[in-house]
A and B are shown apart, each in its own frame.
Chain A
Amino acid sequence: MSTTQWLLMLHIAAAFCFVGGSVAAGILNVLAIRAERPSDSATLLRLIQRVLPVIFVGVAGTLVFGIWLWHELHFSIGAAWIWIALALWAVSGWLGSVGGRHQERARKLAEQLAAAGDASTEELRALLRDPKGTAVSYLAGVATIAILVLMIWRPGS
């Protein structure tokens, strides 16, 4: 295998970790929102922490191997699609961390309620279904898919 093949393989493997881990976090979040008991919501939100290392490996790997490939494949320093993808990568990471903080608040409240009789409250339901928190998570997903579009399309290259 050539250096380019190795780099491409590692870059795509990192992208699978990034997107696959995000899909896993998204599924767990949806299941936590739909759970009836706070203890179930808390468990599902806690499980998101188990997939975070996969996402972090993906986030770091896509950047490192992506920049290395940029150099290896001699793409122009002014390649707009790469700069847009880098901007989207940063936006996706920022939105993901904002969404993660929101999920953490919901998890802590769900754990408190689980310890105090395991009955759901309006406050927990409102926190889990908060439109801002949901919108942030969906926007992070949209930014990630937009990166994938750019990486496959490579406009102008």
Chain B
Amino acid sequence: MMLLAYSRAFWPLFLHVLGAMTLFGAVLTALVTSLAGLRAATVRILIVALPAWAWTLGCAYWIEHDEGLGSSKATWLGIGHGVLEPGVVVLLAAVLCSWWWSRSGKPLAGRIVAGLSGVYLLLLTVAMLAMSGKWGS
């Protein structure tokens, strides 16, 4: 455990992967609950996804700093950044739509939330595949 505690390379990667897996799980849950028409549950779950997103991004920058990847032009890194940073717009849109859905009860809002959750889950999957397979390296 002492080795683990002092292993700088371990912590940022472990925390980044754990955050990404939590984000993936939360968005998957939001997709399932929105398709089932559960308004209140979907809002709560998508709000839980936001700190998971911030955690994942923060740890990604920590890894980049430690590994000296700040100026890297690697494809897999670009895809990861592209999904995690501008991709948050999709997540925020899903949160806002779920809030609108919980207030209005309009089925259209529910369908939009399901669509946005599905798109974001797909984006996360592409980023995860690109980063784990080191695409373009």
> Per-residue CB proximity of A43-69 to B under 8 Å, as 1/0?
110010011001000000000000000
Q: How far is the CB of A107 from chain B (nearest CB, A)?
A: 14
Q: Which residues 69-92 in A have Cβ within 8 Å of B in the complex?
A: none
Set A8, A31, A44: member contacting B133, Cβ < 8 A: A8
B108 contacts the other chain (CB 8 A)? no
| B33→A12 contact, CB < 8 A | no
Q: Interface size on A (CB < 8 Å)? A: 32
B48 contacts the other chain (CB 8 A)? yes
| B132→A31 contact, CB < 8 A | no
Q: How far is the CB of B2 from chain A (nearest CB, A)?
A: 12
| B32→A24 contact, CB < 8 A | yes
Stretch at the interface among B36-44, B54-62, B79-87, B92-100: B36-44
Q: Which residues 99-157 in A have Cβ within 8 Å of B in the complex?
A: 145, 148-149, 152-153, 155
Tell me the interface secondary structure of chain B in the complex: helix
Q: How far is the CB of A20 from chain B (nearest CB, A)?
A: 4
| A31→B44 contact, CB < 8 A | yes
B102 contacts the other chain (CB 8 A)? no
Binding site for B on A (CB under 8 A): 1, 5-6, 8-9, 11-13, 15-16, 19-24, 26-28, 31, 43-44, 47, 50-51, 54, 145, 148-149, 152-153, 155
